[in-house]
């Protein structure tokens, strides 16, 4: 056996602390209630509108995004995390969800299912973008896709869903709508735009000058003030729509009027990705004059920081190798939604709050408490504990902090007597009860607060009663 080398004596240098990558974000437990709030609401909405959850991989063949999102878009040109895998294939972390959902629709032959197929997703996406408030390099989006139907009622219903998701969460938002027409009418419009901007090129920002030939419609939603001024007088797509797109758009708006969803016609709304056709829309937060910098340190968002966006992509299924199939989708950002909820101090409910605290004194009591915790939890109670603590005082302090209604205390005396103490945390009154009856005793008391009634009636036969003779 090789002789072990004695460790070299070198001066201990402090190790460099590894930090979060730029543009990334840790979600800490204190934010969890916001995520639960959003996810619960999304799951309910998805069910109500008949969407099935789909999970696609974080990583896909790079070609999927090049063909769908478009090779001349900012996302594909500058923002994708692209690398070669060990097999030499070019793969990318998904920068958005629609392309993967459409790939899955084709790959799993969903065309043979009753149409439209309604799919819902939620997950992380990646864009190597310039980090700023509300803009991360890994962020979460939820999305709703309706594939296989072209009727304008579908467009209106999806906008209604998106709008109601925010309105239901008490977030004041506006629905911005536009139509960018068929690819043919867009080609005509692009020419008109290039013509308009040609003589004004010198007033454009550097990015827009680059975009002018490749993607002139992006000039309309550039955030640079000079470019915004020029966009005001630029030709409007609505004047270049073909008859079919125009008719479709009018019907979408009629349906929205019918369900009384307010909307703003926004002729400069173009969306950044190549796959859009016809109806496009975004959800913007209403300006919030009252807010100071965000609770997470973020600076106030402008009204143009969309909470989400979507639109028709009637040619995408075919572009990705499927049959011609009309479709429409919406994707919303979760972090931006949380920023708005926090900035507007919108109540999202109390979150998880334990109602019982189990306190113990001594090694034997600790063992019994460990079992009691599990029995009560399985019986449907929300229980908290701090089993590693020895003294009663820190345990009571924690019970107080958590706002539990009762503390259940097992000390040496209770161990000997086969009893347990129930302490009302509000009044401080303590009662000794038979350990075997603990479940019924606790239940009786919690009912007083109306806490247990909400659970569907009967609590399962408590094993605690049998397990602790």
Residue ranges binding ligand AMP (CB under 6 A): 96, 127, 129, 134-136, 139, 141, 306-309, 331-333, 335-336
Listed in order, strand segments (DSSP E) in 157-273 are 173-179, 264-265
Query: Of 37 and 373, which CB lies nearer to ligand AMP in the complex structure?
Result: 37
- d(Cα 258, Cα 280) in Å, to the nearest integer? 19
Q: How far is CA 412 from CA 366, 420, 433, in A?
A: 10, 10, 15
| H-type alpha helices, 295-381 | 316-319, 334-343, 363-378
**For residues 197 and 275, which CB has a smaller minimum distance to ligand AMP in the complex?**
275
Nearest CB to ligand AMP, comparing residues 312 and 423: 312
Cβ of residue 193: shortest distance to ligand AMP, in angstroms?
21
Bridge partners of 174, per DSSP, are 284
| Cβ proximity to ligand AMP, 278 vs 462, nearer residue | 278
Torsion of CA 294, 298, 301, 307, to 10 degrees: -90
User: How near is the Cβ of 130 to ligand AMP at its closest, in Å?
Assistant: 9
Taking the complex as a whole, how short is the minimal distance between the CB of residue 98 and ligand AMP, in angstroms? 8
Q: What are phi and psi of 265, to 5 degrees?
A: -75, 120
The minimum distance between CB 97 and ligand AMP, in angstroms, equals 8
> Could you tell me the smallest distance in angstroms from the CB atom of residue 251 to ligand AMP?
24
Strand (E) positions, 79-171?
82-84, 90-93, 117-126, 138-147
Cα distance between residue 393 and residue 408, in whole Å = 14
| CB nearer to ligand AMP: pick between 45 and 459 | 45
- Enumerate residues 6+ apart whose C-beta is below 8 A from 318: 324, 325
Taking the least distance from each CB to ligand AMP, the nearer of 141 and 277 is: 141
Find the shortest distance in angstroms from Cβ 60 to ligand AMP: 16
CB of 69 to ligand AMP, least distance (A): 9
| CA separation for the pair 107, 203 (Å, rounded) | 47
Which residue lies nearer to ligand AMP by CB, 275 or 406?
A: 275
CB of 246 to ligand AMP, least distance (A): 24
Angle (nearest 5°) at CA 29 between 139 and 302: 40
Query: Which residue's Cβ lies closest to ligand AMP?
Result: 333
CB burial of residue 152 (10 Å; 0-12, 13-18, 19+): buried
331 vs 459 by CB, closer to ligand AMP:
331
State how beta strands 59-61 and 82-84 pair. Answer: unpaired
């Amino acid at each position: 056996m090789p002789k072990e080398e004695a460790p070299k004596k070198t001066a201990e240098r402090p190790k460099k602390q590894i930090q979060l990558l730029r543009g990334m974000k840790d979600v800490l437990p204190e934010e969890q209630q916001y995520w639960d709030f959003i996810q619960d609401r999304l799951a309910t909405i998805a069910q109500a509108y008949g969407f099935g959850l789909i999970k696609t991989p974080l990583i896909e063949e790079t070609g999927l995004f090049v063909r769908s999102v478009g090779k001349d878009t900012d996302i594909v040109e500058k923002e994708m995390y692209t690398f070669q895998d060990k097999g030499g294939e070019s793969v990318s972390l998904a920068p958005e969800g629609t392309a993967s959902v459409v790939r899955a629709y084709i790959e799993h032959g969903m065309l043979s299912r009753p149409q439209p197929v309604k799919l819902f997703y939620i997950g992380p996406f990646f864009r190597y973008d310039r980090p700023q408030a509300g803009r991360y390099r890994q962020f979460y989006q939820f999305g709703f896709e309706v594939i296989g139907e072209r009727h304008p009622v579908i467009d209106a219903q999806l906008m209604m869903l998106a709008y109601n998701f925010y309105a239901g969460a008490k977030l004041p938002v506006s629905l911005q709508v536009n139509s960018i027409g068929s690819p043919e009418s867009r080609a005509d419009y692009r020419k008109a735009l290039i013509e308009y901007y040609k003589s004004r090129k010198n007033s454009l920002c550097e990015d827009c000058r680059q975009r002018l030939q490749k993607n002139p419609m992006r000039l309309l939603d550039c955030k640079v003030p000079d470019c915004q001024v020029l966009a005001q007088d630029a030709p409007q797509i609505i004047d270049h729509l073909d008859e079919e797109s125009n008719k479709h758009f009018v019907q979408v708006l009629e349906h929205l009027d019918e369900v009384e969803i307010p909307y703003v016609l926004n002729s400069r709304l173009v969306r950044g990705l190549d796959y859009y056709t016809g109806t496009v829309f975004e959800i913007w937060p209403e300006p919030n004059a009252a807010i100071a910098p965000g609770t997470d340190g973020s600076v106030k968002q402008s009204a143009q920081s969309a909470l989400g966006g979507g639109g028709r992509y009637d040619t995408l299924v075919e572009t990705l190798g499927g049959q011609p199939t009309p479709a429409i989708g919406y994707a919303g950002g979760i972090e931006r939604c949380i920023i708005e909820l926090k900035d507007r101090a919108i109540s999202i409910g109390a979150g998880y709050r334990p109602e019982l605290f189990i306190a113990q004194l001594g090694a034997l009591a600790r063992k019994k408490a460990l079992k009691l915790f599990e029995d009560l939890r399985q019986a449907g109670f929300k229980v908290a504990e701090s089993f590693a603590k020895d003294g009663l005082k820190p345990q009571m302090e924690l019970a107080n902090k958590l706002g539990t209604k009762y503390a259940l205390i097992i000390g040496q005396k209770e161990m000997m007597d086969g009893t347990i103490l129930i302490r009302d945390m509000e009044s401080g009154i303590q009662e000794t009860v038979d350990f075997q009856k603990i479940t019924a005793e606790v239940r009786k008391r919690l009912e007083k607060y109306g806490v247990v009634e909400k659970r569907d009636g009967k609590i399962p036969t408590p094993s605690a009663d049998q397990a602790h003779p």
